[in-house]
Amino acid sequence: MSSDVPGFELPLRLLLGFRVLIDELHAELARQGHPHARPLHGFVLQAIGAGGTTAVELGRLLGVSKQAAGKTIETLERVGYVERTVDPDDTRRKIVRLTPHGVDVLVRSARIFADLRARWAAELGEERLRALEADLRKVTPPDMFRLDMPGWFGSL
Amino acid sequence: MSSDVPGFELPLRLLLGFRVLIDELHAELARQGHPHARPLHGFVLQAIGAGGTTAVELGRLLGVSKQAAGKTIETLERVGYVERTVDPDDTRRKIVRLTPHGVDVLVRSARIFADLRARWAAELGEERLRALEADLRKVTPPDMFRLDMPGWFGSL
DNA sequence: CTAAGATAGACAATGTCGTTGTCCATATAG
DNA sequence: CTATATGGACAACGACATTGTCTATCTTAG
């Protein structure tokens, strides 16, 4: 005999869970002096990492075109989260690096996420939360970065 | 003493879990004669429901403008999932109803989601999966429809 | 009954974001 | 040195959602 839980609830709950965490993250980030941070920024900054990247590399990592990655970088640059410098070894490349402000938003995001996780742990119990994470790890692909969200919600 | 699990993994896993389920749903839907179904369609059709709705009502339910809802309805109409009829009691209103084809995609989606859930249950154990769903229910808002995704991934 | 306000839907203009295509500058391989 | 590949910028296009405006219709107040 099968479950009486309708199957469509699971994806919805997963999405809502994501939404709840991200919404609260950004509400808190805004309070902490990062009102310009957008849902994807922290993610992209994380992808850029301490070593820096180029537009092409970032695009490949995120699963979007180099042009799209370039535009995102432009935006992040305008807000002050990254800066671009030319690679001395290859004049074509422009290396994108996090600014201190960019590092700050990452540090704060990490702290806020940890707090949110702690809140969930308080509500569900640390064991249950660990189990939840472990279970999700088992059913999701290991590479966390490739989001591929573009056009995901498109109508046609 | 706090957890050693980085907090940012949780939202990512939730999103990836959602993605995995939706991707497999649509791969299977395409195999079953619904190649035009897009990630949001089943969701919108579900929101329209058996009783039908109007563009304004749908927009309100989904958290988008009536114009956006109207365009989505147009697309669904073009693909053949819904049809619009005038309300005899209020000539202004155009009631959107599911066509048999629209009902079919919903029925198939429900079946496929149930199968996917069963696959997760096989991998994680029915008890663990139930616990996961129960836990997510505890930390997410009860109203499942309001997605509010528009602009969610915007850069600025 | 009629006049005023609210509501449903269509249409147009705008802004954002992604895509492909093109082009130039620079590296690298033969 | 020449041919090819690669990084980045620019332009054109399409998808999607937004606001604003307009008309038609319903509802309510007087």
* CA-closest candidate to residue A132, choices A13, A38, A27: A13
| pLDDT score for B70 | 95
Average pLDDT for residues A139-145, to the nearest whole number? 81
Give the pLDDT confidence of B14-24 residue by residue, as tens digits: 988 998 998 89
Give the nearest nucleotide to B73, CA to C1'. C9
- Does pLDDT of A60 surpass 80? yes
| pLDDT score for B8 | 84
Average pLDDT for residues B17-33, to the nearest whole number? 91
Which chain A residue has the Cα nearest residue B23? A152
* CA-closest candidate to residue B60, choices B155, B156, B148, B151: B148
Spell out the residues 6+ positions from residue A54 whose beta carbon is closer than 8 angstroms to its own. Answer: A87, A93, A94, A95, A96
| pLDDT score for A93 | 96
Report H helices in A32-143. Answer: 39-48, 55-62, 66-79, 100-124, 126-139
Give the nearest nucleotide to A84, CA to C1'. D8
- Does pLDDT of A55 surpass 70? yes
Give the pLDDT confidence of A87-137 residue by residue, as tens digits: 999 999 999 999 999 999 999 999 999 999 999 999 999 999 999 999 999
Which chain A residue has the Cα nearest residue B39? A153
Q: β-pairing, A90-98 with B82-87?
A: unpaired
Cβ–Cβ below 8 Å for A135 and B153: no
Of B72, B128, B147, the CB nearest to A131: B128
Cβ–Cβ below 8 Å for B113 and A8: yes
| pLDDT score for A6 | 76
Contact A113, B7 (CB under 8 A): yes
* CA-closest candidate to residue A101, choices A79, A117, A122, A85: A79
- Does pLDDT of B52 surpass 90? yes
Measured distance CA(A144)–CA(B79) in Å, rounded? 34
Residue nearest to nucleotide C21 (CA to C1'): A67
Residue nearest to nucleotide D15 (CA to C1'): A154
Residues from chain B that touch A16, judged by Cβ atoms under 8 A, are 136, 140-141, 144
Contact A124, A45 (CB under 8 A): no
**Considering chain A, what is the average pLDDT of its residues?**
89
| pLDDT score for A37 | 86
Give the pLDDT confidence of B106-149 residue by residue, as tens digits: 999 999 999 999 999 999 999 999 999 999 999 998 876 666 66
Q: State the smallest CA–CA distance between residue B147 and chain A in angstroms.
A: 8
| pLDDT score for A23 | 87
Q: For B90 and C2, how far is CA from C1' in angstroms?
A: 21
Q: For A107 and D2, how far is CA from C1' in angstroms?
A: 50
Give the pLDDT confidence of B34-51 residue by residue, as tens digits: 988 887 788 899 999 999
Which amino acid is residue B22, in one-letter code? I
| pLDDT score for A41 | 86
Global pTM value = 0.86
- Does pLDDT of B95 surpass 90? yes
Q: Which 8-state DSSP code applies to residue B53? A: B
Q: For B64 and D17, how far is CA from C1' in angstroms?
A: 8
| pLDDT score for A75 | 92
Of A120-134, A135-149, B69-83, minimum mean pLDDT range: A135-149
Residues from chain B that touch A148, judged by Cβ atoms under 8 A, are 19
- Does pLDDT of B56 surpass 90? yes
Of A9, A72, A154, the CB nearest to B155: A72
| pLDDT score for A155 | 53
Give the nearest nucleotide to A66, CA to C1'. D8
Q: State the smallest CA–CA distance between residue A86 and chain B in angstroms.
A: 24
Cβ–Cβ below 8 Å for B7 and A39: no
Measured distance CA(A21)–CA(B8) in Å, rounded? 9
- Does pLDDT of A46 surpass 70? yes
Between these two residues, A49 and B5, which has the higher pLDDT value? Answer: A49
Of A96-105, A138-147, B41-50, B78-87, minimum mean pLDDT range: A138-147
Cβ–Cβ below 8 Å for B10 and A117: yes
Residues from chain B that touch A45, judged by Cβ atoms under 8 A, are none
